[in-house]
Structure 1
């Protein structure tokens, strides 16, 4: 018996954040929850909104046949329609359910997208610093993650991104608000990034996607907002979840939204749906597709954060 060498190597470089989280659990047992401050995982310490709990009770008590059964791989039609409404409001464009694939959290969603778009040796550029697991998600599907340093204030540095571009670039992955820096990329930065990729496509014949990983979108303060991506770049994808805003990280419920203006949007959606199935996710959890379809816009007070 043996373990694959690439997994052994990856384990050696495993996330220090995850190790810190596990150490924190032990320390809390020893010293008490109030005496240990955990700055590792983005594991919310707010309870889910009462609307979510009430919906859980309702669907748990349901005797409707098929409530917990299989559904089409991209998810229930009503769940996809609800997420299309959500993303449409955020992005300022009209989406339909067919533009959305339900996912097993944002992590599952990113893996499905990477599986769908990456050929062996392809590259994904990511502004640095970034969520450490991105490296593994990319490697899972034969790709290479290419870091591009940000400016001192963690805003996008278009020069480092342009230098990182190559004929192998399949996508640029952005995370705003950013984990770990908290930086919200400006509308102007997003527009400049879109322009740079459009120019790159003219030179190489390959138009990279912009993939926005947005689980922290709702957690902003003051008059801050997260700039919409879809109106400024057609080859774009949003991946998100309800782990942070509804305090549901363990329920693994999220979605993938493909810009309806994306070239070959229908083919891309079909590829992501296929990837969801063959990666073994099969479909997003049935129970929580029902719950978030009714509660995705439940109010949450983030002031304690």
Structure 2
């Protein structure tokens, strides 16, 4: 009567959502202050004041019918031009408004790219690197393709290139890159991006067709210290950039982002046209007219990363002191420590004894680890540290 696959997706919650809902129930039982919920990546830093100012000014000055009416499908031309000029200032690119397609957040952008690149009746494959955002799987499957996951390089969470090269085939349409990474918080180095680009250039020539990079960049602005996130179109011409303001401006509920299609991609007109067509069949009429204008006004607004950096360092140092091993936070707002037993699901279940809500690494394609989202109150992290110590003590730490 209905699609079994869609029914399963609609009724079986993700592990993250299940843990989050458990946390809400548990908080009602023992008090919010006694539950240490590290499950979900919902920004806890308020949107900048500039966002509120922009919204109020736009509502007061733009004609209501224009503001709340349709834009053209790719997005308001002036908005796209403004964003393109900002990208050019930051990265030395040469984009214009025609290179951007406004979307309802990064998830929509990524799915549109999958749909655009998947060829009808073809047995196409998309590759990504563990640990990875688990929704990639259903996004890829929804367009009729297959997701292949390159095993994690757990030494430093850069790319395991020997495995990657083995998994590339003539069926490979694109490689999904997420840096800063959810869940590891690691930033791919320039050396990693250059090597990735060199391999894909060689394989594209060998296979006789371009292999695209889909760069998933919702965390691009959330980077600590003097670390730089390589802008991938500068290294590899066949790159589609999927961006969102969900994290950088703390606007996850507003669903606003874009796809950037450089002029240099193989057959720009075909690729951009396929993106527009994919958006059309995925019922994307246009991104929010109001929030297109809002992000255009706030496009150069800096992200408030200080709170996330403090939280990351606090949790990182506390976990090290308790006996855990973990990569130091580089970006985003996640830590990905090694679990204290091989079965990461069992470890996360045991953590609930101390009201520590953690997500098993198996859900991200990397068993033996767990994710802790530190986009929560600093005081909650501070009060959680004794609980981590008690948990670690059960393992002799």
Q: TM-score range by the shorter chain?
A: over 0.9
5 Å-filtered alignment, 1:183-202, equals: 183-202=186-205
- Match of residue 131 from structure 1: 133
- Match of residue 161 from structure 1: 164
1:243 to 242, 246, 260: 246
* Higher mean C-alpha displacement, 37-46 vs 75-84: 37-46
Structure with more of its chain in helix, by fraction:
2
Alpha-carbon distance change, 89 to 105 in structure 1, aligned in 2, over 3 angstroms: same
* Distance in 2, Cα, partners of 1:24 & 1:78: 44
Structure number with larger C-alpha Rg:
2
* Higher mean C-alpha displacement, 288-297 vs 29-38: 29-38
5 Å-filtered alignment, 1:260-299, equals: 260-299=263-302
Task: For residue 70 of structure 1, give the secondary structure of its aligned residue in structure 2.
Answer: coil
The CA deviation string for residues 162-212 of structure 1, in whole angstroms up to 9 with x for no partner, is 111011100000000000001100111111111111111121102210110
8 Å contact kept, 1:177–1:183: yes
- Match of residue 52 from structure 1: 51
Task: For residue 243 of structure 2, give the secondary structure of its aligned residue in structure 1.
Answer: strand
The CA deviation string for residues 41-74 of structure 1, in whole angstroms up to 9 with x for no partner, is 2210111000001011112234514111011100
* Distance in 2, Cα, partners of 1:70 & 1:36: 44
* TM norm structure 1: 0.94
1:213 to 211, 216, 226: 216
Alpha-carbon distance change, 299 to 104 in structure 1, aligned in 2, over 3 angstroms: same
Q: Could you list the runs of 5+ residues in structure 1 that have no partner in the other structure?
A: none
1:225 to 223, 228, 253: 228
8 Å contact kept, 2:216–2:243: yes
* Distance in 2, Cα, partners of 1:277 & 1:26: 40
- Match of residue 153 from structure 2: 151
* TM norm structure 2: 0.73
Alpha-carbon distance change, 35 to 83 in structure 1, aligned in 2, over 3 angstroms: farther
Aligned residues: 304
Note the C-alpha offset of 1:93.
Answer: 1.3
* Higher mean C-alpha displacement, 269-278 vs 80-89: 80-89
8 Å contact kept, 2:221–2:303: no
Task: For residue 22 of structure 2, give the secondary structure of its aligned residue in structure 1.
Answer: helix
Note the C-alpha offset of 1:91.
Answer: 3.5
5 Å-filtered alignment, 1:85-100, equals: 85-100=85-100
